[in-house]
Amino acid sequence: MDLLEKINSRKAQVGILGMGYVGLPLAMEFAKAGFHVTGFDVNAERVGQLCDGISYIQDVPTEEVAKFVKNGQFRATTDFDLLSEIDTINICVPTPLRKTKDPDVSYIVQAVDEIKKRLHKGQLILLESTTYPGTTDELMRPELESTGLKAGVDFYLGFSPERVDPGNPDFQTRNIPKVVGGVTAECNKHACALYETSMDTVVPVGSPQSAEMVKLLENTFRSVNIGLVNELALMCNRMNIDVWEVINAAATKPFGFMPFYPGPGLGGHCIPVDPFYLSWKARATGFEARFIELAGMINSSMPDYVATLVTESLNEQERSVKGSRVLALGVAYKSDIDDVRESPALDVIQILRKSGAEVVYHDPFVDSIKIDGDTLTSVPLNEDTLRSVQCVVVTTGHTGTDYEWVLKNCSGLVDTRNVLPGTTDPKLIRL
């Protein structure tokens, strides 16, 4: 039975490398489609939880994992030798930036090395991790073909960017259109066949490079526009104009405008990272991506600006930052999720601590965080906590919080998320 027959009959053994925010939801979709799925991860604790039928991803219910573990459609393992039994492999490993803002593809390299040792004819390998254009064809393909097997003939290789939006109730793995680019037409055909079993819409493109660029364009588009409104917020502050009122009024135009909103900085794995992947690749070709890098500089400066607003709030109380106690409300990178990856709230806390402030935080979704080697735990949000601090800074606008009550009971509040629109109070400073 060839691979297409195995896919269409749901007899293909599906493997996913990386059981994080991308890999686990994808595994569940393939299991729902009727496949037997093996999730690979180097984290033994994470694998143990999955084997016990427990989910640690907010968008994946524990009941769902438990169901597929119990009926035998899903298993998790740290044993990469099982890759030799797998027909299709999706790579969903982290792709962070180094401190120098260069791409760190070491996790992809490690994944490819494990696959290469067990590569066999008829296998389909798909990279989903965000990366720079050329990774699939220039980094992965030569390594896999060093086994003597040829892409498009003996095995199939392609790229399909993850488009996960944690906490989004409307768009999840299944109904987000899936862009696919294979290194050959045969690779594309096999990749599309796999995704068509589990995704509502599959969008083939002509090459992995195009698919890789799609993801970078999507998030660079957001980064640049957020950079624009962040700069507009700084400008409006100088002019004593309410930037939120301006954006909301502009958004009434039914064409030619899409609203973006300012904030304390960019968070999440993708938007703060992807533009640097693109500008790094551009520099490698001798092209300077000035527009993209300028937006990155503006967005990166926002946590420092928020810290100056906290200083302004404390100055109104005739207090210095040093020795003051500050409460950060929310440390997740966006509202109503538990994900703190690249959260600007962490930068704001770090900056204030370096200035001598004692910073505590409250977040109903995040029990603890690490700052400069210290572990901070979420404090309760009550009157005693509010009386014990000199300033509250809203860094994430979780919807379950009564911000009017917070403002009423605190000495000063800095609102970076417009959680108190239209409110006028001398204690309130709005971004």
Position 60 scores a pLDDT of: 95
Sheet order of strands, 36-40 included:
74-77, 36-40, 13-17, 88-91, 124-127, 156-159, 178-182, 202-205
Give the mean pLDDT of 410-430.
Answer: 95
CATH topology of domain 226-430: Rossmann fold (3.40.50)
Give yes or no for residue 177 having a pLDDT over 90: yes
Position 280 scores a pLDDT of: 86
Position 103 scores a pLDDT of: 82
Collapse the DSSP code of 316 into the 3-class scheme (helix H, G, I; strand E, B; otherwise coil) and give the result: helix
Instruction: Give the position of tokens 């489609």.
Output: 33
Position 166 scores a pLDDT of: 83
Position 169 scores a pLDDT of: 86
Give the mean pLDDT of 149-160.
Answer: 97
Position 278 scores a pLDDT of: 85
Q: Give start and end residues of each alpha helix (H) in 33-180.
A: 44-51, 62-70, 106-118, 141-145
Give yes or no for residue 109 having a pLDDT over 90: yes
Position 72 scores a pLDDT of: 96
CATH architecture of 3-206: 3-Layer(aba) Sandwich (3.40)
Position 98 scores a pLDDT of: 76
Position 360 scores a pLDDT of: 98
16 secondary structure, DSSP code: E
* Per-residue model confidence as pLDDT tens digits over 210-228: 999 999 999 999 999 999 9
Give the mean pLDDT of 108-129.
Answer: 97
Position 270 scores a pLDDT of: 75
* Per-residue model confidence as pLDDT tens digits over 304-353: 999 999 999 999 999 999 999 999 999 999 999 999 988 999 999 999 99
For the record, the structure tokens of 215 come out as 């993801």
For the record, the structure tokens of 19 come out as 């059981």
For the record, the structure tokens of 431 come out as 């971004």
Q: Residue 162's closest CA among 115, 94, 108, 102?
A: 94
* Per-residue model confidence as pLDDT tens digits over 247-286: 999 999 999 999 999 999 988 777 778 888 888 888 888 9
Q: What percentage of the chain carries pLDDT values higher than 70?
A: 100
Instruction: Give the position of tokens 């390299």.
Output: 109
Q: What percentage of the chain carries pLDDT values higher than 90?
A: 87
Give the mean pLDDT of 42-46.
Answer: 96
Position 139 scores a pLDDT of: 96
What contacts 418, CB < 8 A, 6 or more positions away? 244, 261, 397, 430, 431
Sheet order of strands, 428-430 included:
358-362, 325-329, 391-394, 413-415, 428-430
Position 93 scores a pLDDT of: 96
Active site residues: 270
Q: Where in the chain is the domain with CATH 3.40.50.720?
A: 3-206, 226-430
User: Residue 154, Cβ neighbours under 10 Å: how many?
Assistant: 16
Contact 13, 19 (CB under 8 A): no
Position 69 scores a pLDDT of: 97
Collapse the DSSP code of 54 into the 3-class scheme (helix H, G, I; strand E, B; otherwise coil) and give the result: coil
Contact 268, 425 (CB under 8 A): no
151 secondary structure, DSSP code: B
* Per-residue model confidence as pLDDT tens digits over 193-210: 999 999 999 999 999 999
Give yes or no for residue 50 having a pLDDT over 90: yes
Rounded to whole angstroms, what are the CA distances from 50 to 22, 58, 61, 233, 254?
Answer: 15, 14, 12, 44, 47
The average confidence (pLDDT) of the chain is 95
Judged on CB neighbours under 10 Å (0-12, 13-18, 19+), 155 is buried
The pLDDT confidence band at residue 179, using thresholds 50, 70 and 90, is very high
Position 227 scores a pLDDT of: 95
Position 294 scores a pLDDT of: 92
Position 268 scores a pLDDT of: 77
The pLDDT confidence band at residue 421, using thresholds 50, 70 and 90, is very high
Give yes or no for residue 134 having a pLDDT over 90: yes
Per DSSP bridges, beta strands 374-377 and 368-371 are antiparallel
CA atoms of 163 and 177, how far apart (whole Å)? 9
Give the mean pLDDT of 90-116.
Answer: 90
CA atoms of 27 and 39, how far apart (whole Å)? 7
Rounded to whole angstroms, what are the CA distances from 244 to 46, 122, 259, 416?
Answer: 42, 55, 10, 11
Q: Give start and end residues of each alpha helix (H) in 317-414.
A: 344-354, 383-387, 403-409
Q: Does the CA dihedral 130-133-139-142 come out positive or negative? A: positive
Give yes or no for residue 399 having a pLDDT over 80: yes
What contacts 81, CB < 8 A, 6 or more positions away? 118
CA atoms of 415 and 264, how far apart (whole Å)? 10
Contact 337, 381 (CB under 8 A): no
Collapse the DSSP code of 250 into the 3-class scheme (helix H, G, I; strand E, B; otherwise coil) and give the result: helix
Rounded to whole angstroms, what are the CA distances from 15 to 137, 198, 301, 426?
Answer: 21, 14, 41, 57
